[in-house]
Amino acid sequence: MTVPNDRCRLVLVTPDIADAAQLAQVTGDALRGGDVASVIIPQHGLDDKSFQKRCEALVPIIQAAGAAALVAGDSRVAGRVRPDGIHVEVGPTAMAEIVAQHAPALIVGGGNARERHSALSIGEAQPDYVIFGSIDGDIKPEPHSKNIALAEWWADMIEIPCLLMGGTSIAFVEEMAQTRAEFIAFGKAVFSDPADAARIVAEINAVLDEKAPRLGR
- Nearest of 206, 134, 123 to residue 164 by alpha carbon: 134
Main-chain phi, psi angles of 109, to 5 degrees? -150, 175
CB 204 within 8 A of CB 186: yes
What confidence tens digit (pLDDT) does each residue in 67-104 have?
Answer: 999 999 977 899 999 999 999 999 999 999 999 999 99
Residue 18 has pLDDT above 70, yes or no: yes
- Nearest of 35, 107, 109 to residue 65 by alpha carbon: 35
pLDDT, residue 70, reads 98
What confidence tens digit (pLDDT) does each residue in 96-144 have?
Answer: 999 999 999 999 999 999 999 999 999 999 999 999 999 999 999 999 9
pLDDT, residue 74, reads 74
- Nearest of 202, 127, 135 to residue 166 by alpha carbon: 135
What DSSP assignment string belongs to 101-146?
HHTTTSEEEE----SHHHHHHHHTT--SEEEES-TT---SSSPPHH
Q: Name the pLDDT band for 1 (thresholds 50, 70, 90).
A: low
